[in-house]
Amino acid sequence: MENHSVNSSRKRSLAISGILTLSLLAAACSSDSKTTTTSAAATTVASTVASTAASTATSATEAPGSSDATATTTGDTVTAPSVDYSSLSGTLAGSGSTFQKAFLDEAIANLADQAPGLTVSYGGGGSGKGRTDLQTKLVDYAGTDGTVKPEDVALYTGGDFLYFPTVIAPITLSYNLSGVDSLQLSPKTIAGIFQGTITKWSDAAIAADNPDATLPDTDIVTVHRSDASGTTQNFTTFLEKAVGKDSSGEWKLGAFQDPTVWPDGGQAGDGNGGVAQIISSTDGAIGYVDLSDAKAAGLAFASVENKAGKFVEPTLEATSAAAENATIKDDLTFNLGWADGDASYPIAAQTWILVYTKQADSAHADNLKAFLTYLLTGGQTLAPTIDYAPLPTSLVAKALAQIDKITS
């Protein structure tokens, strides 16, 4: 596999199979007016949900700054709230997941053109920080790649909360190894590397995964997250499912987000970007990084053996293939790791926005509802340009359906 790089704007067009109708996406992005483009994109995505689920093509036109469309799933009709973005006023602050930060940054920037009176910020910091900040209402919304533990629910001082999925994407095994342009890794080998039992790139296990490669006798430097991380949680959940205690047993550490669980000897980075930076500057390094940050840093990444025994690259198409087999719970939580299917990338991951059901006042509730509506409509058209896959259309419909649960 070639070493992948990103251009300065981090923009690229990628084909997403089975998620959105590409002809509609192209139409949504064809306007010369940025405000009209964003509004049209919101309408198009909501219309695409309807057309995909009902197998009927639809089209809609809206005045700039508004979004109103109906999404149909089997047996259910979902109407996206009508939003006059230009009338919104106030502030929304969020923190949390760095896995979805590039997507949120892009969506927030585009929404600002439609909603000049609404100031939305997102500070990152890791999923653990986002959840902790939301518990005490330091933020209005939290980005999280993992779900809240049952024992932590009582810590949320704002009462009941909702999960809103935003995008899906692969977690890459990015590496920096002189002379090695292509790499394949099995879950068993990955477990050995990150537990510290495989310490040289010339190890027999890595050689067995890569029979045609010439591997140097270089020390392996593992790089993990320094913060309580949803990316860590999803990466270790994959290992637990693939080769953990209920499987072949090579992975001994379980699924976790606490960075103190990692064995001594590795390096730690702050956020996905911090891990990517260490890998890029350290010969022999390997770490887990979301696709957007890996490409932005110009990193090479391995193909990973999936449940069907196929080595699969971390692409958006392979992530969408994993999503086709996902089981969505009533609260809209799910996990894409170690999915069935020949084409599925085995470390595909999901991420959510977490918000309280009850808001302080109607203006705050309306602002949050508008923001979430945009992420689920117009925001979805932005996802593939920055290396995220849009949500499956049926999941978009379910997420739009619960927006009206947010009240004051």
Homologous superfamily (CATH) of 170-323 is Periplasmic binding protein-like II (3.40.190.10)
pLDDT of residue 81: 67
Q: What is the C-alpha to C-alpha distance for residues 360 and 211, in angstroms, rounded to an integer? A: 60
pLDDT of residue 82: 82
- Which of 339, 310, 275, 294 has the alpha carbon at shortest distance from 186? 310
Q: Where are the domains of the chain?
A: 170-323
- Which of 5, 47, 7, 17 has the alpha carbon at shortest distance from 384? 17
Exposure string of 107-127, with b = 16+ CB inside 10 Å and e = fewer, is bbebbebbbeebebebebbbb
- Which of 292, 271, 267 has the alpha carbon at shortest distance from 281? 267
Map tokens 């739009």 to a residue. Answer: 400
Query: 3-state class of 222 per DSSP?
Result: strand
Q: Average pLDDT of each block of 10 consecutive residues along the chain (408 residues)?
A: 35 32 31 32 37 27 35 49 91 97 97 97 96 98 96 97 98 97 97 98 98 96 96 97 97 96 96 97 98 96 98 97 93 97 97 97 96 96 96 95 96
The two structure tokens encoding residue 199: 């310490």
Q: How far is CA 114 from CA 60, 109, 378, in A?
A: 18, 10, 11
pLDDT of residue 79: 63
